Chain A
Amino acid sequence: MKRFMIVLLLFLLPLEVFALSADEVARKSQAAFLYPGKDFKARVMMKLISKGGQERVREMTMLRKNYGDTGGEQKYFIYFYQPADVKDMTFMVYKYPGKDADRWLFVPAISMVRRIAAKDKHSSFVGSDFTYEDVSGRNLQDDAHSIIKEEKAGGKDCYVVKSTPKAGDMDYSYKMAWIDKATFLPLKEEYFDKKGELYKVFTATEIKDVKGSPTITKRSMKNLQSGHMTEVSYTRADYGIGIDDSLFSERFLKQPPKKWIE
């Protein structure tokens, strides 16, 4: 019996390895990382740390609502608390699969809403080391994915997925992601520049269970070339809170409802 089990295991092992294709791993990872819950809310604390150790702080409430499945449309609403002089500033993003997002910003000092068109691929998210794409995700079809190997990262079994952008308009030439086999969350990501050198590293430093969904509550992105780093922590993270569709409108951008932003 014992022998039979071993044979069976040996038989099953490679099967299990190839049970998931690279594309599926990438898709599951995106679902676990960026799409859990019908909606999501968290108080986000972002620390921008310069090479010399100087810090800039951004504090905001971030709300997200899914419209459709993984990879589908999403809407984001962000209310800023810090820096102090941008208090009451709000920011709204409509994210579409396959094209650049729409963004609106409310500038309270001149009481004006402006649409902002920027390239998701390159633009920094509020001056941090994260690009818009790092925050809201990248179209899965834009990359060629392959599983390079499987290894442990932070004591957890991971797939190591290499994602190479099909178009050459990115700042990086490819990305390696260590994706936890159990949660499908990326534990670590390494970005390699066009010269093939590692230049940006993403690390998930804290993962907590929020209403049954494992959620990365602390993460960092370090640019090895500029020495700049961004640390992000989520507090009061919550799923399925029933955000109204009406929140994502110009009216509420100017006067955000207290119950959602606190």
Chain B
Amino acid sequence: MRKFSLVEFSVEHPKLVVVLSVLITLLFMTQFPKMRTDTNPKNMLPATSDVRVWNDEVENTFSLYEDMIALGIVNENGILNKDTLASIQRITDEVLKIKGVAARDVSSFTTIDNVTAEKETLTVAPLMTKVPEDAPGLEHLRKMLYDNPLFLNRIISKEGKTAAIYVPLEKGANGKEIADRIREIVKKEKGDEKYYIAGDPVARDTFGAEMFKLMGIFSPIAGMIMFIISYIMFRSLFLSMSIMFPAMIIIICSMGLLVGLGFPIHIMSSMSPVFLMAIATDSIHIFNEFYFRYCEKNDKNTAIIETMKAVGKPLIYTDITTAVGFASLLLANIIPVRVFGFGIAFGTLILLLLSFSLIPAVLTFVNIDKVERASQKEGMATGRTSQLLRRLGSIGVFRPRATVAISFILFVIAIIGVMKIHVNNNLVEWFKFNSDVRTADRIINQSLGGTSLAYIVATAQEDDHMKTPEAMRYIEGLQRHLEKLPVVGKTTSVVDYVKRINRVLHDDDPKYDAVPETKEMIGQYIFLFSMSAKPSDLDNVVDYPFRRANIWVQLKTWDAQAMRDVIKVMGDYQKSNRNRIELKPAGIAYFNLVWNDEVLWDMVKGFGAALVIVFVILIFNFRSVTWAVISYVPLLFTILLLYGVVGFIGKDFDMPISVLSCLSLGMAVDFAIHFVSRLKLRLEETSGSESLADSLLWTAARPGKGIMRNAVLFASAFSVMMFAPLTPYITVGAFIVSMMLLSAIMTIIYLPALIVLMQGWLFKTK
């Protein structure tokens, strides 16, 4: 029995064990300076995944920017006045000078190319070279803006109150830093205009910055709360510190390992300290039992060793099931989820090791008098908590049928809720409704084309096919179809440019705002366009051999569902308009959709795996299939209830929630393991001299107190996250708090009811 020798060794050489633990921890800590964050959703999937390879190819073929910031300028009295236009000019000039901004392709009033016709002359010039001085000048600008469909809904809104500057970023530029620079620039403007900064890179990099802050603020706060609550529970500063000590060690070791292996901190792993701290509360079972034992035996070292004998086995199994729950995330395709699962599983195993070495060692330093005083209060009969727990347990023990019936009703309701679950991911909604990022996105999406960008790439069978009227009309038809969707704000393609040139060449006659009749015309118009506009304008919408065209689809929401709608319309269009041109979606909105589906599939996979493995471990633990089933039921029930609630309140089933489902399995099963293990031990110890009902009540009152303490401590650590400014943290916090409290109550009320009802089946071998 090696584990007992480890405990004994630790009790005999406590100082050595403590020093060794600290040294090893310091070793892991040396990795911390290498820490870096990664909030780019692209890195959720490996660089070799199909969708990323395809998106890279599309970006390359059409010289597209990965990232674009949109600056919205709102003036309730209209944009087209001298002062606002002067502001736009000044801001644009300053934005062009920001490092990391791809100045050559910034689209603003003063930089965007405008092709116009006047008296047989085609004029190509930036829309506004200088601010119009008088009313006719302003009127002329208004006409140019509203006559050109390429501008409307892009740089100016229909009602004329919102203008936009689009700022593409060079590869690797930090969106938040550039957004902050733009904020400084607009702050200098004195007018009534309001400014909004939106776009994927802003959301992403702001999220990254917030994430780091949260990690720094919430982990210590969670630690403090746990410390205070454990002090209230045990009335001993020393014991509270002994609970925190292993928690700190596993946090440092597991974060150190992740950083040391070169993984950047991602949204998931930024939550690990809080998770690990909560998991470390598992050691409370040791302290809980130690108090009872010490009260009974009054010899410290014997009490420690006997405590470990009693709680050792459930501890091993609970830690292993927790580790397995997290390790099941290794099956995920989403890289940060995998890294997170790996880190927590590692930390949990370290905790297991510490439970048999460091914790017994630390217990030897406990001041005898204090423990004596404290443990006096732990008498089973006198403890108020124990009384309450005994009463709770008796509900299940004495009214098993009613308990199970009520649960069944809840079960049915939960199923209905689960069926209402809506899978969706929306990066912008990771911010609170009134946050700068989300407000800016909402305002810009209300009046302009849309901040979320998708592409549809049309590929023909041979070169130059995109110049044929047939291909042009096919693309134009698709655009009109897509624009019928309410989520689509604007579409742009090479066809829009060709039609524009056609009209301008024919003295701005609206009759010519159409696809030209011959391939020669189209070819020459495109050439004319390339002679006048910026080369990138054309590169963005058509490839070099004119075999592929790129249709820009601006979406008004970051919901993955919006892209699903676009793809459906695209598919329907393909079916009803047979053509040899292939259509394929791309872009960040498409990526988000793929990733979203991947999350769901991963979750199903991980959940399935965890379900099976945890069940197998339970069988091993109890050496009985029936007991495994019994302790499994309350766990499944807890999870089902939680998802039922998620379905009813209409919360999107997003990445953080789906990941939680795997974890909840590993964590919620802990209480059942403790309960059943201790019950069986009690039955053995009393060997028939006590009725099953009494044994159940004893278990509810004594190890039940450990369970309750564990749940409260765990929940209190996570409750901190509910005050975070980012919604995924709030979701995770609320979910874990409810899960812990619910599964503790389930274990104490529902599990005894089941055991009473099934006793014939459970004990028939005995």
Chain A 110-146 against B: per-residue CB contact (8 Å), 1 yes, 0 no? 1010111111001111111100000000000000000
Q: Which residue of B lies closest to A125 (CB)?
A: B531
> Does A16 lie at the interface of the complex (its beta carbon under 8 Å from any beta carbon of B)?
no
A150 vs B254: C-alpha distance when bound (angstroms): 60
Contact A54 B528 (CB under 8 A): no
Contact B63 A85 (CB under 8 A): no
Contact A115 B121 (CB under 8 A): yes
Other than the given A55-B544, A107-B528, 18 more pairs (CB < 8 A) read A50-B544, A83-B523, A83-B527, A84-B523, A85-B527, A86-B527, A91-B531, A105-B531, A109-B520, A110-B521, A114-B122, A116-B123, A116-B532, A122-B126, A126-B527, A193-B103, A194-B96, A195-B99
Q: Which residue of A lies closest to B518 (CB)?
A: A109
> Does A165 lie at the interface of the complex (its beta carbon under 8 Å from any beta carbon of B)?
no
Contact B99 A124 (CB under 8 A): no
Contact A86 B524 (CB under 8 A): yes
- Chain A residues near B124 (CB-CB < 8 A): 116-119, 123
Partner among A56, A85, A124, A128 whose Cβ is within 8 Å of the Cβ of B544: A56
Chain A 90-110 against B: per-residue CB contact (8 Å), 1 yes, 0 no? 010000000000000101111
A226 vs B532: C-alpha distance when bound (angstroms): 18
Contact B102 A114 (CB under 8 A): no
A110 vs B521: C-alpha distance when bound (angstroms): 7
A108 vs B544: C-alpha distance when bound (angstroms): 22
B62 CB → nearest A CB, Å = 9
- Chain B residues near A127 (CB-CB < 8 A): 527, 530-531, 535, 538
> Does B429 lie at the interface of the complex (its beta carbon under 8 Å from any beta carbon of A)?
no
Task: Using CB atoms and an 8 Å cutoff, list the residues of chain A in contact with chain B.
Answer: 48, 50-52, 54-56, 83-86, 89, 91, 105, 107-110, 112, 114-119, 122-129, 171, 193-195, 223, 225-226, 228
Known contacts A50-B539, A83-B527, A85-B464; decide if A226 and B104 are in contact (CB<8 Å): yes
- Chain A residues near B764 (CB-CB < 8 A): none
- Chosen A-B contacts, 23 in total, with CB atoms closer than 8 Å, are A50-B63, A52-B61, A85-B522, A85-B524, A86-B523, A86-B527, A91-B531, A105-B528, A109-B520, A109-B521, A110-B505, A110-B521, A110-B524, A115-B122, A116-B124, A119-B126, A122-B126, A123-B532, A124-B530, A124-B531, A124-B534, A226-B536, A228-B535
Contact B531 A126 (CB under 8 A): yes
A131 vs B558: C-alpha distance when bound (angstroms): 39
Known contacts A193-B103, A194-B96; decide if A117 and B121 are in contact (CB<8 Å): yes
Partner among B516, B519, B535 whose Cβ is within 8 Å of the Cβ of A124: B535
Of the listed residues B99, B122, B522, the one surrounded by the most CB atoms of chain A closer than 10 A to its CB is B122
Instruction: List CB contacts (< 8 Å) of B58-109 with chain A.
Output: 60-61, 63, 96-97, 99, 102-104
B504 CB → nearest A CB, Å = 9
A128 vs B538: C-alpha distance when bound (angstroms): 12
Partner among B123, B126, B524 whose Cβ is within 8 Å of the Cβ of A108: B524
> Does B170 lie at the interface of the complex (its beta carbon under 8 Å from any beta carbon of A)?
yes
> Does B205 lie at the interface of the complex (its beta carbon under 8 Å from any beta carbon of A)?
no
Known contacts A109-B518, A115-B121; decide if A226 and B63 are in contact (CB<8 Å): yes
- Chain B residues near A114 (CB-CB < 8 A): 120-122, 505
A45 CB → nearest B CB, Å = 16
Known contacts A83-B527, A127-B538; decide if A194 and B97 are in contact (CB<8 Å): yes
> Does B144 lie at the interface of the complex (its beta carbon under 8 Å from any beta carbon of A)?
no
Contact B60 A52 (CB under 8 A): yes
A197 CB → nearest B CB, Å = 8
- Chain A residues near B96 (CB-CB < 8 A): 194
A230 vs B693: C-alpha distance when bound (angstroms): 88
Task: Using CB atoms and an 8 Å cutoff, list the residues of chain B in contact with chain A.
Answer: 60-61, 63, 96-97, 99, 102-104, 120-126, 170, 464, 467, 505, 516, 518-525, 527-528, 530-536, 538-539, 543-545
- Chain B residues near A129 (CB-CB < 8 A): 535
- Chain A residues near B544 (CB-CB < 8 A): 48, 50, 54-56
A77 CB → nearest B CB, Å = 15
A92 CB → nearest B CB, Å = 13
Contact A118 B528 (CB under 8 A): no
- Chain A residues near B524 (CB-CB < 8 A): 85-86, 89, 107-110
A260 vs B539: C-alpha distance when bound (angstroms): 33
Contact B519 A85 (CB under 8 A): yes
Q: Which residue of B lies closest to A223 (CB)?
A: B104
B58 CB → nearest A CB, Å = 11
Q: Which residue of A lies closest to B531 (CB)?
A: A126
A150 vs B710: C-alpha distance when bound (angstroms): 79
Known contacts A55-B544, A195-B99; decide if A112 and B505 are in contact (CB<8 Å): yes
A105 vs B529: C-alpha distance when bound (angstroms): 12
- Chain B residues near A118 (CB-CB < 8 A): 123-125, 532
A123 CB → nearest B CB, Å = 6
Contact B521 A194 (CB under 8 A): no
Contact A51 B60 (CB under 8 A): yes
A72 vs B308: C-alpha distance when bound (angstroms): 99
Q: Which residue of A lies closest to B119 (CB)?
A: A115
- Chain B residues near A48 (CB-CB < 8 A): 535, 544
- Chain A residues near B525 (CB-CB < 8 A): 107
A258 CB → nearest B CB, Å = 21
A145 CB → nearest B CB, Å = 25
A119 vs B531: C-alpha distance when bound (angstroms): 12
Closest 9 pairs between A and B when the two form their complex, measured CB to CB: A85-B523, A127-B530, A54-B544, A109-B520, A118-B124, A109-B521, A115-B121, A52-B60, A117-B123
- Chain B residues near A226 (CB-CB < 8 A): 63, 104, 536
A80 CB → nearest B CB, Å = 8
- Chain B residues near A50 (CB-CB < 8 A): 63, 539, 544
- Chain B residues near A85 (CB-CB < 8 A): 464, 467, 519-520, 522-524, 527
A105 vs B61: C-alpha distance when bound (angstroms): 29
- Chain A residues near B103 (CB-CB < 8 A): 193-195
Contact B102 A225 (CB under 8 A): yes
- Chain A residues near B61 (CB-CB < 8 A): 52, 54
- Chain B residues near A52 (CB-CB < 8 A): 60-61, 63
A160 CB → nearest B CB, Å = 26
- Chain B residues near A112 (CB-CB < 8 A): 505
Q: Which residue of B lies closest to A228 (CB)?
A: B535
Partner among A89, A105, A117, A125 whose Cβ is within 8 Å of the Cβ of B125: A117
A145 vs B533: C-alpha distance when bound (angstroms): 30
